[in-house]
Amino acid sequence: MDHFLYRGGILCAEDVSIPEIAETVGTPFYVYSCATLTRHYQLFKEALEGIDNLVCFAMKANSNQAVIAHLANLGAGMDVVSGGEYLRAKAAGVPGERIVFSGVGKTREEMRTALTGGIRQFNVESEPEMVALSEVATSLGLTAPITIRVNPDVDAKTHEKIATGKSENKFGIPIAKAPAVYAMAASLPGIEVVGIDVHIGSQLTELEPFRLAYEKVKELTLQLRAEGHDIRRLDLGGGLGIPYERSNTAPPLPTEYGALIKEVVGDLGVEVEIEPGRLIAGNAGILVSSVVYVKEGEGRDFLILDAAMNDLVRPAMYGAWHDIVPVVEPAPGVEQRPYDIVGPVCESGDTFAKQRQMPPLSEGDLVAFRSAGAYGAVMSSEYNTRPLIPEVLVKDDHVAVIRARPSFDEIINRDTVPEWV
Ligand code: LLP
């Protein structure tokens, strides 16, 4: 459920009409709903009620500081994967003790940033990373709390580019090697083992892969405890999928996911962390765009929008589906026709949808891409010197631009031409 509904035939974000926002900020733009962010965060909190838990929002899904601050005010922690995300979380007011640091390639510089600024834990992904962290922590006279990310060799049954839990993926250490790596961790100065971490992939639409992975983590917890390690925290990652295509069966709900977690690890007496990104932010955002031209091609018509692959890369990158709806609700029973919906970028890959059934649309009409709040704005670029598009946040009838569109001067002046050119 989200808070982008038609009211009197006009698509609204909570109590604000989309055409009104378009009028002020111009298209294309992203708009997020606080009520939807809150609801999705609360769903996880309710699902985990009864066990000690921290829901850490995976900031890679949406790192706008207003979004982070909103979630942090509700009590959320953050999962960061770079020094930049760490600093953004801090700038948005998230305390260090609620930030976990994931990622396969943390640099020493990033470790220093997080150690000195305060951190809940590092999720360590390799032996060399652990050695580096030990060196950095001791040089600062500090101790780094860590989990080790294990790779359980489980098929997440998702798109190959976002599956992370198979042995051929670069993530984590093979679970069979875990006891040896934990022993190594225990012997290193400046390192304090606090738990185990696992994350098997993103946009999972079944619970079974989670069950397989979490059962392996449970077994490992018991083994490591028997070997003397104080495993008191389990970071179970993110990955629960969302319904991108409303006509399809929906993925499992957070309640079912929470029930599974409680069933598998509920009796271990651990604190559970989860790192959802997409499920919290995905349906809390839409991308609004205008039709520039309707072009009649050979045997097909193209709807050419002012948004492009640089603004929302998911269709081009993963062949991803986003529902695309007209902002003015079509009259019931209006005849739909197929369009190829494309952007203006000079690549055939700049195609959002092929032969998508839409009501008749014409120049200047507004359309909205649903489920664009996660991995939308954060993955955008200025390809073709198209400025990053604005982000807008709505709460009831409040509206704010939370990232403004840069001017062409700002973009152009970022380059420097050396005098010897
Ligand atoms: N934790 C870790 C360690 C991760 O690598 C990820 C996502 C998450 C949590 C959050 O997963 P989520 O709950 O959002 O599924 N750009 C792709 C998705 C990449 C996901 C990468 N890792 C897309 O647009 O589909």
Q: What averages of pLDDT result for each successive group of 10 residues across the chain (421 residues)?
A: 94 98 98 98 98 98 98 98 98 98 97 98 98 98 98 90 84 95 98 98 97 98 98 98 89 97 98 98 98 94 98 98 97 95 97 97 98 98 98 98 98 97 96
**Which of 79, 106, 161, 202 to probe ligand 1 with, by most ligand atoms within 8 A of CB?**
202
Verify whether ligand 1 is closer than 6 Å to residue 58 (CB atom).
Answer: yes
Pair 71, 57: CB distance under 8 Å: yes
- What's the CA gap between 381 and 310, in Å, rounded? 5
Q: Is the CB of 103 under 6 A from ligand 1?
A: no
The pLDDT of residue 112 is 98
Model pLDDT, residue 255: 98
Q: Which CATH number fits domain 33-279: 3.40.50.1100, 3.20.20.10, 3.40.605.10, 3.40.50.2000?
A: 3.20.20.10
Question: Helix and strand tally (H, E) in the chain?
Answer: 12, 21
Q: Nearest C-alpha to atom 20 of ligand 1 is from which residue?
A: 202
Question: Which protein residue's CA is at the shortest distance from atom 7 of ligand 1?
Answer: 202
Q: Which of 164, 278, 309, 371 to mutate to test the pocket of ligand 1 (most atoms within 8 A of CB)?
A: 278
User: How far is CA 16 from each of CA 3, 318, 331, 371, rounded to the nearest angstrom?
Assistant: 10, 32, 21, 18
Q: Is 165 in the pocket of ligand 1 (CB under 6 A)?
A: no
Instruction: Delimit the domains of the chain by residue range.
Output: 4-31+282-412, 33-279
Say yes or no: CB of residue 276 within 6 Å of ligand 1.
Answer: yes
Locate the ligand 1 atom nearest the alpha carbon of residue 103 and give its number: 3
Residue nearest to atom 16 of ligand 1 (CA): 375
For residue 134, report the distance from its CA to the centre of ligand 1, in Å: 27
How buried is residue 101: exposed, middle or buried, by Cβ count under 10 Å (0-12/13-18/19+)? buried
Residue with CA nearest ligand 1 atom 22: 202
Alpha helices in 31-107 (DSSP H): 34-47, 65-73, 83-91
**Ligand 1 pocket residue status of 277, Cβ below 6 Å:** yes
Rounded CA separation 261/235 (Å): 11
DSSP 8-state class, residue 286: E
Which residue, among 39, 96, 108, has the nearest Cα to 70 in the 3D structure?
39
Q: pTM (2 decimals)? A: 0.97
Ligand 1 mean position, distance from CA 369 (Å) = 20
Q: Is the CB of 94 under 6 A from ligand 1?
A: no
**Peptide bond before 28: cis, by omega within 30 degrees of 0?**
yes
pLDDT of residue 183: 98
pLDDT of residue 80: 98
For ligand 1, the distance from its centroid to the CA atom of residue 237, given in whole angstroms, is 9
- Give the helix ranges, DSSP H, for 141-253: 178-187, 208-226
Ligand 1 centroid, distance to 379 Cα (angstroms):
12
The answer, yes or no, to whether any atom of ligand 1 lies below 6 A from the CB of 317, is: no
| Block residue for tokens 């942090």 | 72
Nearest CA to ligand 1 atom 8: 238
**Ligand 1 centroid to 175 CA: how many Å?**
21
Alpha-carbon distance of 35 to 70, in angstroms, equals 10
Q: Is the CB of 79 under 6 A from ligand 1?
A: yes
Is the shortest distance between the CB of 102 and ligand 1 below 6 Å?
yes
Q: How far is the CA of 419 from the centre of ligand 1 (A)?
A: 43
CATH 2.40.37.10 is the classification of domain 4-31+282-412: yes
What's the gap in Å between 239 CA and the centre of ligand 1? 6
Is residue 346 flagged as an active site residue?
Answer: yes
